[in-house]
Structure 1
Amino acid sequence: MAETRTRRGNVPAETSSLIGRRRELDEIAVLVGGSPLVTLTGVAGVGKTRLALRTAARLRGSFADGVWVVELSAEQNGDLVGHAVAAVLGLREQAVRPQDEVLAEYLADKHLMLVLDTCDHLVDACAVLLRRVLPGAPHVRVLATSREPLGLPGERCFPIEPLAVPESGAAGTDAVRLFTERVHALVPGLVLDPEEVGHVCRLLDGIPLAIELAARRLRALSLQQLAERLDDRFALLVGGSRTPFRRHQTMRTAVGWSHELCTPAERLLWARLSVFAGWFDAADARAVCADAGLTRLPLARLVNRSILIADGSRYRMLATVRDYGRQWLRWLGEEETFLRRHRDHYLVQARRADAEWYGPGQARWADWVHRELPNLMAALDHDDGFELVTALWFAWCCLGQVRRGRRYLERALDRHTRPSPARTKALWVSAWTALTAGDTAAARRRSGQAYAAATADGDLAAAGCARQCAAAAALAEGDLDEAVRLAAEAAELFAQAVHIHIGLPVAEVTMARVLDARGEAGTAVEVLTRQWARCAEHGELWARSHGDQARSVVELGRGDADAAEVYARAALDLKCRLGDPIGSAAAIDQLAAAAAARGEGWRAACLLGAAHRMWTSLGLSGDGSRGLAVPRERTENTARALIGDARYEIAFAEGLVMEPDAVVSRSRDTGGSDHP
């Protein structure tokens, strides 16, 4: 008959502290208490084993017959899973009886917990064993770790996510705490720069194993060197993790373990999907990855194996998993092919977005840019021409990506100097991005080059875009006569162009701003009324928001602060809908000016603080709003006069720390008395 050891478990002692994970541990304990089988799933190195062992230690006193850990990574024969469990429990081999029958009989009246660690390669065998054993063992609980579920009825799956990483800086996240504690244990007294620590943790996706391995490298590297070398993270993250199991000694081995368990089709898809830098859907995957050698894409299988993370109908890979797939794609000799297919896929969509931007689909395309930005940047990194970077002009000029756009445009213009229609478009887009960034000198220079090239090409719309930019630059520099001449010329060029162009309503806004600056507010309102109607006819939002912003400036200049408030808020609503941070910051500046004119000094100061934070986060000074709002200095002086310097500083500081949603809410708060 079976004999048991006198010990009440074999949970190994922990060799280092566990950072964070309190919520996960609490939830796992609850699941184990109510479910016969709980499976922890997640990507390699995310900490499934560590959490299972901590849970086992935590619940040890709840099971009279002990908590037993069965480590299965070294077992390759599924027929021997039952024997591995029996060996841990101290059962003698019985040659005449099936092992699952012996286990079922032994466990029937036991109050114990089994931890089946690393079931990935033995999923079917583990499922068969537990299906035989668990129904007759009501007081046995099984906690399994696996990249994928075991697939039994009643199984409760608990996905283990990476540790939280900071969006910026390094304060207060578990990933940062883990990295910092491990480094200081190895190199006491080492001073760590918080920004660099946060950057490293983001590069490592918050994967605990990767963080532990990276921390050990600081005995030989600086933080900056570590970050630079993480491009080859599998060569860097080797050895040193204080884990009881050898398979976790390197990230390459940990991720490679998952790779070995995949079918050939799953491995090929993993490699090809590595060209995606962010989220993608099934249609994206088919367009880029499918061919005669891979006609069916096993996306769901890669989700089950924790290679892909799914959120509704969209998928992504953690960077560590993606890098492993990219290495395989390179070894297969397919890297350049699929990087090109990825670029071409996004180029097709960008062309369509460009064609449809001046129309009712604008908000949808804005959402597309914000959603696909990592993939668009990856496509641009592997693009050497003008077409993609110019097709995405609206991302640079309308959606706050101005610094990225200028970098890609200047790179393309420097590499390709021969005149062509594509280069002409790049020139006027470059001029517009410079203007958006407040660089009027560069805007004037590029607009002049664009106008000359467009005239030579006979491209009236491009010539109009060049003249519109030059007019706005002249307005920003105070040359009103030049600005009105250029704006009129731009409008005429757009009127003569073969196809309608968004540049026309933009030029109308510039004309209205010039007229208002010349003291012709009535005529400016007439122009803006026509401009609003034109945008409404086309279902256009971005240029319309510019018109609303300009109308607010005109109304404030005419002494109607209430109307100025209404139009500035309308502009902000549209800017927020499109996700235009530069336009939003300018609109908040204008709302601050309206509040100051209404005698609301505290609210004005608070909004100025919020706008200042937005301009700073964009890497801009606020000069990009020149002509789009009442000058910030004028608003500040009015607010200080209303509430005094001390209260102004307090209100401004309050705005500086406001979250974006609170800023929009404060911008709508026009009733009641001013704050303290």
Structure 2
Amino acid sequence: MRKYAPCLMRRSNLSNLPAELNRFVGRGAEIRELQGLLTRFRLVTVVGVGGVGKSRLVVRAAAAAEKRYCDGVRLAELAPLRDPGLLEQALLDALGLTDHTRRPPREVLAEHLVDRRLLLVLDGFEHLVDDCAGLVRELLRRCPGLTVLAAARCPLRLDGEAVVPLAPLPEADAVRLFTERAAAVLPGFRTEDGGRVEGDDSVRELCRRLDGIPLALELAAGRLPALGVEQMLHRLDDRFRLLTGGTRGALPRHQTLRTAIGWSHELCTPRERLLWARLSVFVGPFDLEAVEYVCGGPELPADEVLDTVAGLVDRSVVLREETPAGVRHRMLDTVRAYGAEWLAELGDEERMRRRHRDWYMGLATWCELEWFSPRQAEVAACADSALPDLRAALELCLEAPEEAHLAQHLAATLWFCWVGCGRLAEGRHWLDRVVALEPGHDEARLRALWVLGYVAVLQGDDTAAVAALYECGEGAARTGNALAAAYTTHRMGCLALLSDDMPRAEELLSQALTAYRELGELNSQVLMGQVELAMAKVFLGEPEAAVALCREVREVCEDRGELWTRAYALYVLAYSAWTRGAYGEARELLGECIAIDHAFHDLVGLVLAVELLALVTAAEGDPAEAAVLQGAAAPMWEAVGLPLFGSGYFSAPRVLCEQRAGEELGAERFRSCVAEGSALPLDAAVARALSGRPLDRVPSPRGARTRARRGGRPG
């Protein structure tokens, strides 16, 4: 049984706090209080009603405290998360970690944080409070340098927790916030310092009536293009009596916020109200195409959705933002929850959730097809942006036993997200759940089984891989599913390759490729099978055959615009070039390979390429730089799981580089250079590999992805 190291791979940027889009107003005393508490407590939780400004405050306080934490500040936004089983994965994502191993994510988190001084900001966990409390308790106990700053509607109730209730803004700050936001949406609206506006007494009265709740004030400011302050006061009087019922025993501030949002709702047109309710089924960012499909209908024609969305943006109900996947929209959690209540009142929740599920199943299918195309980088960014809603679609499928086949189909269709975009652990989570469902539709189940086998192979979990692939093979034989049989053979060949059984790998991979040709199957996975066969051949001393296979793959990839598999073909070609002593050719091939792997955050391909580049560098006569690159690969191996690719044939470049560079540098200098490389964050390590010199900062690979315009997608 193999043992695996935890994921310790992180990027250069020590903070992922969002940039402020408008000026922060007030809260000076609260920020100073939080600064003081963070020096005395390791867990500080800001609590308060929705819309009171908890999220903005903790982000501001965390940014002010950032210099105290040598390992940075990381924000985990938990409001979109619905599955408690993904809580640890959400924190891994927030920390910028990638884990390809099969270790429990909680262990990975603890081992990463155990010797670091870091501030972790948790926002919006009230719906997961019990699970979150257990995780935070364990991390704080095991990681003495960790401090947690949290924001939610309720505390975690843990020993040592400092709880800070957040009150609404005092009148002066409330007026300042309102007038600043008003000036932004209504040219000519002047602040108090700039002169009277409709009577400052009216502004102060409005702020008092809204209890100084920032969200309510911002919503009110957003209404100014349509209504004056006096008109808003008059309408607010009417709406208090109409909308303050709420739940029995609700706090007045909850009622006030509900009134403010409900009043904003009443000011919307009927179509805007209907769209607001329907948009509540989206968990994360959404684009216009998704809204047109999910929310359109006889009452809201698709050709009028754009104008209706624009109206909600103008009213500050929907927010517009630029993402690596393009323009997206989203709703604040409080606003979305209000819309969800109206959707339930309309009796349309189930239908909207199913339309949402159907859209994201279609999106997943489109992404899988376009993965084998020039849009591959765009697909990766799209899947990353859509992940919260893809999770929601999976959860809906899992709720109904009769729809098990849909859950299996969706989890399997997302193989490119799990394998190609560095999300093996999450993929394993979903695949384990869907194959545990009662057997039903054979085709969907067989596909989920071989994808599970694929993920388990890459995690080094041989037992689970063999079990899934054996069941898939039996099912394929029973039902006559030749394609499932071919994929089963392929993945068994991949398992043999990673187990250093090259003759068996060559046999199985050859069989799978023959079956693919007979079936007319051609995609990234088929090409990867050809690359894997080339790896087996180069390790068996057949470099010419390996080169021929990879050149063919390279040509197909260039013709189709495929990048991910192309990178692995480049690796094998570089390996062959190194064996021939063509070091310049090998370096050029590896440079392209590393750039692609880094863009897709594929640590498996990346670490193999960096280690081979280290050996090439040593062969070129620069043992010190070779040792630095060797050291830079070490944290990547810990993320991948060193024993998975770390013995036998795959370890040869590392062993040879260590011998060659170690002999030329001497043991002490070699260790020093390796330590220098090991200390490099991921982005800096890649920059060093590509340029030969250290860079302080390079762009995030996900942010650098292509932002090509997307065409039509299946719904």
Shorter-normalised TM-score: what interval? Answer: 0.5 to 0.7
Question: Per the alignment, in what secondary structure is the counterpart of residue 198 of structure 1?
Answer: strand
CA distance in 1, matches of 2:448, 2:651: 28
The 5-angstrom pairing of residues 208-223 of structure 1 reads 214=151, 218=155, 221-222=157-158
Aligned-residue offset at 1:404: 1.1
Question: Per the alignment, in what secondary structure is the counterpart of residue 329 of structure 2?
Answer: strand
Equivalent residue for 1:261?
264
Alpha carbons of structure 1 residues 47 and 399: separation in structure 2 relative to 1, 3 Å? closer
Equivalent residue for 1:110?
none
Equivalent residue for 1:338?
352
Alpha carbons of structure 1 residues 216 and 286: separation in structure 2 relative to 1, 3 Å? closer
Question: Per the alignment, in what secondary structure is the counterpart of residue 45 of structure 1?
Answer: coil
Equivalent residue for 1:408?
430
Equivalent residue for 1:300?
310
Q: 2:529 aligns with which of 507, 521, 543?
A: 507
Q: Which has the larger radius of gyration?
A: 1
Alpha carbons of structure 1 residues 212 and 482: separation in structure 2 relative to 1, 3 Å? closer
Question: Which amino acid in the other structure matches residue 371 of structure 1?
Answer: S
Question: Per the alignment, in what secondary structure is the counterpart of residue 200 of structure 1?
Answer: strand
Query: TM-score, structure 2 length as denominator?
Result: 0.60
Equivalent residue for 1:369?
383
Q: Deviations over 1:213-267 (max 9, x none)?
A: 958955x8128999xxxxxxxxx99876685664547567446523322225444
The 5-angstrom pairing of residues 84-123 of structure 1 reads none
Equivalent residue for 1:535?
557
CA distance in 2, matches of 1:602, 1:285: 55
CA distance in 1, matches of 2:344, 2:504: 56
Indicate yes or no: 2:399 matched with 1:393. Answer: no
Q: Deviations over 1:526-549 (max 9, x none)?
A: 222222223333332222211111
1:589–1:630 Cα contact (<8 Å) kept = no
Equivalent residue for 1:45?
52
Equivalent residue for 2:644?
623
Aligned-residue offset at 1:462: 2.5
Equivalent residue for 1:310?
320
Aligned-residue offset at 1:414: 0.6
Equivalent residue for 2:365?
351
Alpha carbons of structure 1 residues 344 and 468: separation in structure 2 relative to 1, 3 Å? same
Question: Per the alignment, in what secondary structure is the counterpart of residue 311 of structure 1?
Answer: strand
Question: Per the alignment, in what secondary structure is the counterpart of residue 387 of structure 2?
Answer: helix
Q: Deviations over 1:301-340 (max 9, x none)?
A: 3333433321254212334443444444445443333222
2:71–2:118 Cα contact (<8 Å) kept = no
The 5-angstrom pairing of residues 192-203 of structure 1 reads 198-201=120-123, 203=125
CA distance in 1, matches of 2:643, 2:276: 44
Aligned-residue offset at 1:434: 1.6
Indicate yes or no: 2:596 matched with 1:574. Answer: yes
Question: Per the alignment, in what secondary structure is the counterpart of residue 528 of structure 1?
Answer: helix
Alpha carbons of structure 1 residues 341 and 20: separation in structure 2 relative to 1, 3 Å? farther
Indicate yes or no: 2:469 matched with 1:455. Answer: no
Question: Which amino acid in the other structure matches residue 407 of structure 1?
Answer: H
CA distance in 2, matches of 1:474, 1:509: 14
Equivalent residue for 1:426?
448
1:16–1:242 Cα contact (<8 Å) kept = no
Alpha carbons of structure 1 residues 255 and 570: separation in structure 2 relative to 1, 3 Å? farther
Alpha carbons of structure 1 residues 599 and 212: separation in structure 2 relative to 1, 3 Å? closer
12-21 or 542-551: bigger deviation? 12-21
Question: Which amino acid in the other structure matches residue 442 of structure 2?
Answer: S
Q: Which runs of 5+ in 2 are unaligned?
A: 1-24, 35-49, 77-112, 128-147, 172-207, 214-251, 399-406, 695-715
- Aligned pairs, number: 500
Question: Per the alignment, in what secondary structure is the counterpart of residue 415 of structure 1?
Answer: coil
Alpha carbons of structure 1 residues 268 and 635: separation in structure 2 relative to 1, 3 Å? farther
Question: Per the alignment, in what secondary structure is the counterpart of residue 397 of structure 2?
Answer: coil
Question: Per the alignment, in what secondary structure is the counterpart of residue 157 of structure 2?
Answer: coil
The 5-angstrom pairing of residues 609-620 of structure 1 reads 609-616=631-638, 618=639, 620=641
CA distance in 2, matches of 1:660, 1:196: 18
CA distance in 2, matches of 1:625, 1:223: 43
Q: 1:562 aligns with which of 581, 584, 593?
A: 584
1:278–1:316 Cα contact (<8 Å) kept = yes
CA distance in 2, matches of 1:514, 1:652: 30
Question: Per the alignment, in what secondary structure is the counterpart of residue 449 of structure 1?
Answer: helix
Q: Deviations over 1:625-674 (max 9, x none)?
A: 776674545544544444345444544444445454433321122599xx
CA distance in 1, matches of 2:259, 2:164: 14
CA distance in 1, matches of 2:686, 2:572: 19
Root mean square deviation of aligned Cα: 4.4
Aligned-residue offset at 1:355: 2.8
Question: Which amino acid in the other structure matches residue 222 of structure 1?
Answer: L
Question: Per the alignment, in what secondary structure is the counterpart of residue 497 of structure 2?
Answer: helix
CA distance in 1, matches of 2:70, 2:437: 38
Aligned-residue offset at 1:559: 4.0
Alpha carbons of structure 1 residues 410 and 18: separation in structure 2 relative to 1, 3 Å? closer
CA distance in 1, matches of 2:423, 2:120: 23
Alpha carbons of structure 1 residues 286 and 558: separation in structure 2 relative to 1, 3 Å? same
Alpha carbons of structure 1 residues 463 and 374: separation in structure 2 relative to 1, 3 Å? same
Indicate yes or no: 2:437 matched with 1:437. Answer: no
Equivalent residue for 1:16?
29
2:120–2:149 Cα contact (<8 Å) kept = no
Question: Per the alignment, in what secondary structure is the counterpart of residue 310 of structure 1?
Answer: strand
Aligned-residue offset at 1:493: 0.7
**Relative contact order, higher structure (CA 8 A, sep 6+):** 2
Alpha carbons of structure 1 residues 237 and 163: separation in structure 2 relative to 1, 3 Å? closer
Alpha carbons of structure 1 residues 308 and 549: separation in structure 2 relative to 1, 3 Å? same
Structure 1 runs (4+) deviating above 6 angstroms are 12-15, 160-167, 192-197, 223-226, 236-239
Question: Which amino acid in the other structure matches residue 572 of structure 1?
Answer: I
2:360–2:390 Cα contact (<8 Å) kept = yes
Aligned-residue offset at 1:408: 0.8
CA distance in 2, matches of 1:13, 1:469: 59
Q: 1:291 aligns with which of 297, 300, 309?
A: 297
1:436–1:624 Cα contact (<8 Å) kept = no
1:541–1:574 Cα contact (<8 Å) kept = yes
1:213–1:239 Cα contact (<8 Å) kept = no
The 5-angstrom pairing of residues 131-210 of structure 1 reads 198-201=120-123, 203=125
Question: Per the alignment, in what secondary structure is the counterpart of residue 383 of structure 1?
Answer: helix
Aligned-residue offset at 1:273: 2.0
Question: Per the alignment, in what secondary structure is the counterpart of residue 298 of structure 2?
Answer: coil
Alpha carbons of structure 1 residues 346 and 419: separation in structure 2 relative to 1, 3 Å? closer
Equivalent residue for 2:619?
597
CA distance in 1, matches of 2:74, 2:523: 50
CA distance in 2, matches of 1:221, 1:198: 17
Question: Which amino acid in the other structure matches residue 644 of structure 2?
Answer: D
Aligned-residue offset at 1:496: 0.8
Question: Per the alignment, in what secondary structure is the counterpart of residue 471 of structure 1?
Answer: helix
Alpha carbons of structure 1 residues 590 and 437: separation in structure 2 relative to 1, 3 Å? farther
Question: Per the alignment, in what secondary structure is the counterpart of residue 382 of structure 1?
Answer: helix
Alpha carbons of structure 1 residues 306 and 521: separation in structure 2 relative to 1, 3 Å? same
Equivalent residue for 2:95?
none
CA distance in 2, matches of 1:540, 1:15: 52
Sequence identity percentage = 28
Indicate yes or no: 2:544 matched with 1:522. Answer: yes
511-520 or 656-665: bigger deviation? 656-665
1:437–1:624 Cα contact (<8 Å) kept = no
CA distance in 2, matches of 1:629, 1:174: 34
CA distance in 2, matches of 1:392, 1:334: 28
CA distance in 1, matches of 2:442, 2:160: 42
Q: Which runs of 5+ in 1 are unaligned?
A: 1-11, 22-42, 52-159, 177-191, 206-210, 227-235
